Amino acid sequence: MGGYHRGAGRAIGIITLVVSAVLGSVYLLGRSLTPDPSHTDSTVTSTGADHPEYADQAAPAPTASGATPTGIPDTGPKPPDHLTAPEHDDDPNFGPMGTRVSTGTNSVALTFDDGPHPDYTPQVLSILREHHVTATFCVVGQNAQAYPWLIQQIVAEGHTLCNHSWNHDVTLGSRSPERIRSDLIRTSAAIRAAVPDAPIGWYRQPGGAWTYSVISVARDLGMMPLHWTVDPGDWRAPGATKIAASVVGGVGPGSIVLLHDAGGNRQGTVDALYRILPTLTSRYAVLALPKRGT
């Protein structure tokens, strides 16, 4: 009898160990299949992750449906009220989170991001001058600091300036409000080092990666968040023909067009302007956005 009980005890112990091992494996498997919540940022609407330093990620303009620019409703937690921006629900000139997506008139606005650049910005300015067109330049702080004479030329020729962050940090909106504020102030300071009284009424987040925090800080600094309506993908350098066809075919009254004068080889964008401007100016007034964001 004693041997029987000892044998039964050993069997029960072995079974217990096997069951524990199986349950442990199931638990570990479940953990491996569960996303790590610490790696998500529910307030970011479009990452622009392909090019973290330059070249804005193609991000569709926000829509009135409540979807973010990626088309996915932003259902994540929102920051406190003092870090949120008005949504302008009844105003078609604004998208969700308060980003500007239209000129508000029948005019069309060309915007040039990531500059200034000593090779491409002077060419863009020359073509705009030839066609009596003004535009909006969303400048990167590092480039404004490196090429102050181009900032001076942009302003002297009647164009509008827009803050585009210090070094094109697509993830800036996910950082602390203090970090965002420091970045935007540093960028505006570099612009004003070239043109001390330059009005900077607009802010465009690299990659269109808008968050409530970055919009709130921009507004608090007196800048309107600026998105776009037409993105020809010129940052991919598809060639002048494709860029021009996309812009001419996509523009309508009130459109804001996203183009680039830096961040890569932008000769295709420069050449496309020779095809774009004669058509657009025959149909619309092509004007810079107001120097004070509205």
Residues labelled as active-site residues: 113, 260
- How far is Cα 264 from Cα 283, in angstroms, rounded to an integer? 30
Q: Is 66 in a helix, a strand, or coil?
A: coil
Task: Please answer whether residues 210 and 227 qualify as being in contact, where contact means their C-beta atoms are separated by less than 8 angstroms.
Answer: yes
Question: With left for phi above 0 and alpha for psi between -120 and 50, is residue 57 left, alpha or beta?
Answer: beta
Q: Which two tokens stand for residue 118?
A: 């000593």
Strands laid side by side in the 256-260 sheet: 224-225, 200-203, 160-163, 136-139, 109-113, 256-260
- What are the residue ranges of helices labelled H in the chain? 2-33, 121-130, 141-146, 148-156, 177-194, 212-220, 240-250, 267-283
Task: Please answer whether residues 262 and 115 qualify as being in contact, where contact means their C-beta atoms are separated by less than 8 angstroms.
Answer: yes
Tokens 């005890």 -> residue: 9
Amino acid residing at 88:
H
Residues 127, 227, 208, 236, CA torsion sign: negative
Q: DSSP assignment, residue 140? A: -
- How far is Cα 138 from Cα 203, in angstroms, rounded to an integer? 8
Residue 186: C-alpha distances to residues 53, 163, 281 (Å): 17, 10, 36
**DSSP string of 267-279?**
HHHHHHHHHHHHH
